[in-house]
Amino acid sequence: MTGTWLGMPPFPVAAREALGNEQLRTNLRKATGTIRGKRAAVVDERADWEALRVAGKEIKDRTLHNLDTYLEQLERKVTESGGVVHWARDAAEANRIVIDLVRAAEADEVVKVKSMATQEIELNEALAEAGIAAYETDLAELIVQLGHDRPSHILVPAIHRNRSEIRDIFLREMPGVTAALTDDPAELAAAARAHLRRKFLTAKVAVSGANFAVADSGTLVVVESEGNGRMCLTLPEVLISVVGIEKLVPTWQDLEVMLQLLPRSSTGERMNPYTSTWTGVTPGDGPQEFHLILLDNGRTGALADDIGRQALRCIRCSACLNVCPVYERTGGHAYGSVYPGPIGAILTPQLRGVTADEVSPTLPFASTLCGACYEVCPVLIDIPQALVHLRAKAVDAKRGKPSAERTAMRVAQWVFGSSRRLRLAQRLVSIGGRVLGRRGRIGRLPGPFKGWSGARDTATPPRQTFRTWWESR
């Protein structure tokens, strides 16, 4: 995986900064609360919801256990239908393939339908370097792109923005928008539609992702709410789809289960408004050239991990984000990756490697382990279990290296090893508490103890220890 969002600070640092942003918390609370309510209502309608979840889990597990077989089947079927399959080991390889294909089509711009895989590999940046302009067509993605921003939610990438912020972005960045534009959602959508229509009608090449790929027919599937995706998938001459290798389902019967789980879990709808499927190319109808890039980028590494591999079952519904108390307060940017929230906390460190950068080892700790994410996950990913597993890996990676915590433990061991030393230490702590404390509380502890006091006050130690009290009786 690329060092996505290079330069982002570790989660605790980024989260602390986000916690100071009241507008962000208000926007998030409102948006996630609304989606949570809708999801709960439509899930309650299904008496067989639990059975569906089990079916979803089993389909994905079966697929992952036989991934090589299903991938080869998919490749065969796509090729037989007139498509071309490319294999990309990592981000650099995938970006290179896309750039070569766009150049071969003699195009200097592409339209894109929402694809997390292309954000993961930072395709837009690679295209820009190659002199190719990329235009996001999903409304939320467009807002993020025009705002020179980063996505902060899987389903609603601009969830951190409210209506008036979006109006300001459109006024500033969208060509042809007049100052009369208000922050009415219908007006904002109309402005975006006019802007995008011009792009749809001129772009020769489209880049998409896929929600699913059906192995036994070679069919790609995109589900969306706006219809912009369908324009991307049908109007341009060349269609390039960048798809993670874990997106497979073996058959259309399996797809049927997923298409019941996904909309209810993500948008809280019984069915999503647009489901587009395509198989290779059809002469005279739709794109006449279709390329499928199957992306590994760390996925086979995750697949080899007995506990961590369940993250590859994810169907990117975002239900776990909408119930997570940590995500609701920090927002998605703090996770330093295109995959935020509970799923990001287990997927990102696996795709990048737990010790690959400063951010990854902190992500498994970005959770209270309350289990709300597990309760809503439509494919039963035991996120708390994976978090604990990855925490152990992050700690193991540091074993043997000097750290403030290790030094503190050594000192504690030495102090507790002698009653005389303990007595002296208690006396010093009591005096220190009186010097540093105000009204029974110590706000900020010095030196390596800063980490503890950064998020909580510490009670000042009592003047009399248990030991002295006992002796005085």
Binding site for ligand SF4 (CB under 6 A): 154, 265, 314-320, 343, 376-379, 381
**Shortest separation between residue 8's beta carbon and ligand SF4, angstroms:** 21
**Shortest separation between residue 396's beta carbon and ligand SF4, angstroms:** 24
Query: Sign of dihedral through CA atoms 333, 64, 303, 364?
Result: positive
Residue 246 contacts residue 312 (beta carbons within 8 Å): yes
Nearer to ligand SF4, 119 or 265 (CB): 265
Nearer to ligand SF4, 111 or 158 (CB): 158
Separation CA 157–CA 14 (nearest Å): 18
Compute the C-alpha angle 84/219/193, nearest 5°. 95
Separation CA 401–CA 154 (nearest Å): 36
**Shortest separation between residue 336's beta carbon and ligand SF4, angstroms:** 18
**Shortest separation between residue 73's beta carbon and ligand SF4, angstroms:** 24
Nearer to ligand SF4, 218 or 268 (CB): 268
Q: How far is CA 271 from the centre of its chain?
A: 23
**Shortest separation between residue 412's beta carbon and ligand SF4, angstroms:** 38
Nearer to ligand SF4, 242 or 320 (CB): 320
Separation CA 230–CA 364 (nearest Å): 36
Burial class (CB in 10 A: 0-12, 13-18, 19+), 430: middle
From 79, 99, 80, select the one nearest 88 (Cα to Cα): 99
Sheet with 84-88: strands ordered across: 84-88, 289-295, 238-244, 205-208, 109-112, 133-136
Nearer to ligand SF4, 95 or 118 (CB): 118
**Shortest separation between residue 271's beta carbon and ligand SF4, angstroms:** 17
**Shortest separation between residue 150's beta carbon and ligand SF4, angstroms:** 18
Q: What are the b/e assignments for 111-128, b being 16+ CB within 10 Å?
A: bbbbbbbbbbbbbbebbe
| Strand-pair category, 133-136 with 109-112 | parallel
Separation CA 211–CA 258 (nearest Å): 10
Nearer to ligand SF4, 83 or 384 (CB): 384
**Shortest separation between residue 331's beta carbon and ligand SF4, angstroms:** 16
Nearer to ligand SF4, 116 or 133 (CB): 116
Separation CA 258–CA 262 (nearest Å): 6
Radius of gyration of the chain (CA): 26
**Shortest separation between residue 332's beta carbon and ligand SF4, angstroms:** 12
Nearer to ligand SF4, 33 or 448 (CB): 33
Separation CA 6–CA 320 (nearest Å): 25
Residue 298 contacts residue 352 (beta carbons within 8 Å): yes
**Shortest separation between residue 378's beta carbon and ligand SF4, angstroms:** 6
Nearer to ligand SF4, 239 or 315 (CB): 315
Q: How far is CA 56 from the centre of its chain?
A: 20
Nearer to ligand SF4, 110 or 314 (CB): 314
Sole residue written with tokens 């650099």 = 92
Residue 203 contacts residue 94 (beta carbons within 8 Å): no
**Shortest separation between residue 402's beta carbon and ligand SF4, angstroms:** 36
Nearer to ligand SF4, 280 or 364 (CB): 364
Residue 233 contacts residue 276 (beta carbons within 8 Å): yes
Separation CA 381–CA 386 (nearest Å): 9
